[in-house]
């Protein structure tokens, strides 16, 4: 009964509370309840006239029958369950619509996540080269120390401007340690054994590799691993 009353959208909150308060006074044997309106109003914390209005609304909607033996006496209430089945069906329909809407929202969120894949913040780092100025106010390009370890494999340094970008007229070339670190980090990610990494580093030292040469070697190793797995 309480489920049906709560699910009935024609009722306001005060009317639902009134119905539940009366239900607490129902005699199990007779099915009757006869609390005074003053008592129900006190339970609800509202005025007598408000409780009387709630009672009339519930009676007009068929939730309860009320009668009294004398004009100033208390009402005798009897709850009806004739249209409980209709209310239950409406409640189930609303629940089904809510489930459909929830599934639609979930599907839209899923589709949105597929359209906007996650991107690491490292990929969004600006690749603007640093620079310095000498007394003649002429700038010379410098490679940030962290730049060589952040670029993806096969990506030319400084937005693809070529090998000459890492050549600095007054400051020398990229340190060998930076090249060694890049080779070790990237080949380690690809599962290369330490002995082979050391061998490649020795080769890069003998042949005086640039960072572009290191990238080529890493790409070649990646291609070789891919062919072995096929």
The 3 state secondary structure assigned to the chain is CHHHHHHCCCCCHHHHHHHHHHHCCCCCCCCEECCCHHHHHHHHCCCHHHHHHHHHHHHHCCCEEEECCCCCCCCEEEECCCCHHHHHHHHHHHHHHHHHHHHHHHHHHHHHHHHCCCCCHHHHCCCCCEEEECCCCCEEEECCCCHHHHCCCCCCHHHHCCHHHHCECCCECCCHHHHHHHHHHHHHHCCCCHHHHHHHHHHHHHCCCCHHHHHHHHHHHHHHHHHHHC
Predicted pLDDT of residue 53 = 94
Residues 225 and 127 in one domain: yes
Residues 138 and 192 in one domain: yes
Q: Is residue 97 part of a domain?
A: no
How many domains in the chain?
A: 2
Q: Is residue 114 part of a domain?
A: no
Q: Report percent pLDDT > 70 for the chain.
A: 68
pLDDT at residue 1 is higher than 90: no
Which residue range is the domain that position 48 belongs to? 2-82
| pTM for the full predicted model | 0.40
Q: Which residue has the higher pLDDT, 94 or 132?
A: 94
Least confident of 5-19, 106-120, 171-185: 106-120
pLDDT at residue 166 is higher than 60: no
| pLDDT, tens digit, 9 for 90 and up, residues 178-199 | 777 778 888 888 888 888 888 8
Residues 130 and 197 in one domain: yes
* Neighbouring-strand partners of residue 79: 64
Among 13-22, 61-70, 89-98, 160-169, the range with the most confident prediction by mean pLDDT is: 13-22
Q: Which residue has the higher pLDDT, 130 or 83?
A: 83
CATH number of the domain at 34, please: 1.10.10.10
Predicted pLDDT of residue 154 = 47
Average pLDDT over residues 152-158: 46
| pLDDT, tens digit, 9 for 90 and up, residues 6-23 | 878 889 999 999 999 998
As a whole number of angstroms, the distance between CA 194 and CA 217 comes to 16
Looking at 29, 51, 82, the residue that finishes a domain is 82
Average pLDDT over residues 139-160: 47
Quick one: tokens of 93? 């329909």
| pLDDT, tens digit, 9 for 90 and up, residues 39-88 | 999 999 999 999 999 999 999 988 888 888 787 778 888 888 776 677 67
Q: Is residue 100 part of a domain?
A: no
Residues 126 and 207 in one domain: yes
């Amino acid at each position: 009964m309480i489920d049906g009353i709560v699910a009935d959208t024609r009722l306001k909150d005060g009317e639902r509370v009134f119905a539940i308060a009366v239900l607490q006074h129902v005699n199990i044997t007779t099915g009757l309840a006869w609390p005074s309106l003053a008592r129900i109003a006190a339970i609800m914390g509202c005025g007598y006239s408000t409780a009387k209005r709630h009672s009339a609304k519930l009676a007009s909607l068929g939730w309860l029958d009320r009668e009294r033996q004398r004009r100033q006496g208390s009402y005798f209430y009897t709850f009806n369950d004739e249209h409980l089945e209709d209310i239950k069906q409406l409640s189930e329909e609303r629940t089904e619509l809510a489930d459909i809407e929830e599934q639609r929202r979930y599907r839209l969120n899923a589709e949105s996540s597929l359209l906007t894949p996650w991107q690491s913040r490292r990929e969004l780092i600006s690749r603007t080269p640093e620079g310095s100025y000498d007394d003649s106010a002429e700038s010379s390009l410098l490679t940030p120390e962290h730049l060589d370890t952040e670029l993806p494999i096969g990506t030319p340094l400084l937005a693809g401007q070529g090998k000459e970008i890492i050549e600095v007229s007054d400051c020398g070339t990229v340190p060998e340690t930076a090249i060694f670190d890049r080779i070790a980090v990237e080949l380690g990610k690809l599962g290369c054994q330490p002995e082979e990494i050391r061998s490649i580093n020795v080769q890069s030292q003998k042949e005086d590799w640039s960072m572009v040469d290191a990238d080529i070697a890493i790409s070649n190793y990646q291609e070789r691993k891919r062919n072995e797995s096929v």
